[in-house]
Structure formats: structure tokens, C-alpha cells
Amino acid sequence: MHIVTTIAGSDSGGGAGIQADLKTFQELDVFGTSVITALTAQNTQGVMDVLPIEQAFINKQFHALLEDFPISAIKTGMLFSSDIIRTIALAMTNLTIPLIVDPVMIAKGGETLLQQEAVEALRNNLLPLATIVTPNIPEAETLTARKIETVSDIRLAAQSLLQLGVQCVIIKGGHLANKDFAVDYVFFKNGKSFSMQTSRIATKNTHGTGCTFSAALTAFIGRQMPIEQAIVEAKKFIQLAITHNLSIGHGNGPTNHFAYQKFKESCEVTIGETQ
């Protein structure tokens, strides 16, 4: 059994954060463990409050796992403060476990999940340790201090992130104004790149899409799947989870983690160039 870890915030509403990650891990046959960085009082309508966990306790959770388990992949989600980021980065130094960084910054309703002062720590302390980073367009803009409007802007932003030492950058196009397709762009340190396109699902139930995508990626990497195949399978996982989304709650409902195992054979991802 492969063991993977999520370092993220708790979403009491169950659609994002630690809860989305563990549900995704379970569906993908990996044993999920967690380091909780913050609690959120949250539902499909928004984030009511955030309670960050003390640095020392975050450290204890992480070391408890490192001392006991042969962890095969780690992901980070909501990290909230520069202190928390430095704690994680310090604990990760000298580890050779693949690290997937989902640079979560703002919830769908606009609430802050990463303090402004923490962006530098994310760039300078954590990204150099990352195997894969998965920003959406606004996150990539913040991390690179560049405006992104075209695919050429996406490529430049990815190159600037690769220069920090990340092995692979996936810029998610979910926020691009394309009403027909959801296209993500993948760039590797060795210069290789490709795009992944699926049909865009017209739904408001997209709570936790980013968390679920990066958790699926972490599970596949943890299962030792080759990196390019893991990225495409994670795209299938999120496409099916959004297609079969759950209309629960009064706001933006969550995605459906059960859909991949039922429908994966029928899901098409079109691979293209990044021009």
C-alpha cells in the first residue's frame, strides 16, 4: 500500500482542503495521512473564519508521519502564513519524497487562504523544493508578478517558475475566458511541454476543484506512475468529478470523487501543444 500525505487546511464543508484530499486518496487506492495547517469554518457558501494551527504543532504532526511511514508523495494546499511555509520547507529539506505544491491563495468566495506576506516565502522557500507546482491563472500571476492573458503569457510565467527550481509547472486554465474548453498547460524543466484539453462543464459546483486535481496527481505520483501519465490521469479524475458534480449545499457545491472509478474508460483528454 502506498502512503501519501496532504499538508493543508481543513474545510468543514468537506469539498476542499484536507477532506477533499483524503476522499481523493481513498478513491485512488493510496493510504492518506495529513498535517493540518489551519481550520476553516466553511461551507459551499463561503469561509466564515480561519484558525491557523501553531507552528510547533504542525511540525509535530509532520514529524510523527515522517518517523513512522515510508511516504511516497506529499502535497501542500492551504498554508496560510510565512511561518507555516517556513516550518514545512525546513522539514522537507533533505527529503527525497516528490512534493506537489498547490499554491492555494484565495477561496472561490474571495476569502484569504494565504496571507499576502506569505507569497515571498512560498516562492523562495517552498517552490525550490517542489517537484510539481499547480497554480491557477491568478496564482501564477501573483507568484510571477506578471499579467496572464494569452498562452504566450502562460509560457513566460511557467519559465519564471521553473527558474526557481521547480521540476514541472502546471498552469490551470480553469479561470481563462474559454466557454467551451478547460485547458491546462504543462511545462517541464527539460523544455518539454504540452496542453491538456477537456470540455468545460457548465456548473456552479466547482468547490475544491484545485485541491481535488492536485490530490489525484499526488496519489498517482505516490503510486509510482510516470509523471506525464500521472498528470493526464489527474486531469481525467477532475474532469469526471466536475461532470458528475454534487448539488449539495446552497452555494458552490463540491465535485464527485466517486466518478473516476466508474467512468474513467470513457473520459477523453486531448493532448496538444503550448503555442
Ligand X SMILES: Cc1ncc(CO)c(N)n1
Binding residues for ligand ATP (CB under 6 A): 16, 104, 108, 136, 172-175, 182, 184, 198, 200-201, 206, 208-211, 213, 235, 238-239, 242
Contact assessment for residue 86 and residue 93, using Cβ atoms and an 8 Å cutoff: no
Residue placing its CB nearer to ligand X in the complex, 138 or 165: 138
| Catalytic position from the list 23, 75, 108, 172 | 172
172 part of the active site:
yes
- Return the number of other C-beta atoms located less than 10 Å from residue 224's C-beta: 11
Closest approach of ligand ATP to the CB of residue 219, in Å: 15
Q: Is 104 in the site for ligand X (CB under 6 A)?
A: yes
Among 16, 71, 126, 242, binds ligand X (CB under 6 A): 16
Residues 6+ apart with CB under 8 A from 149: none
- Return the number of other C-beta atoms located less than 10 Å from residue 23's C-beta: 23
Residues 6+ apart with CB under 8 A from 257: 20, 23, 24, 26, 27, 212, 241
Q: Is 78 in the site for ligand X (CB under 6 A)?
A: yes
Q: Is 77 in the site for ligand X (CB under 6 A)?
A: yes
115 binds, among ligand X, ligand ATP, none (CB under 5 to 8 A by kind): none
Q: Is 113 in the site for ligand X (CB under 6 A)?
A: yes
211 part of the active site:
yes
210 part of the active site:
yes
The whole-angstrom separation of Cα 66 and Cα 84 is 17
- Return the number of other C-beta atoms located less than 10 Å from residue 131's C-beta: 18
Q: Is 208 in the site for ligand X (CB under 6 A)?
A: yes
Residues 6+ apart with CB under 8 A from 24: 212, 215, 216, 219, 237, 257
Residues in contact with ligand X, total (CB under 6 A)?
A: 15
11 binds, among ligand ATP, ligand X, none (CB under 5 to 8 A by kind): ligand X
Residue placing its CB nearer to ligand ATP in the complex, 71 or 240: 240
Residue placing its CB nearer to ligand ATP in the complex, 69 or 181: 181
Contact assessment for residue 188 and residue 160, using Cβ atoms and an 8 Å cutoff: no
Catalytic (active-site) positions: 172, 206, 208-211
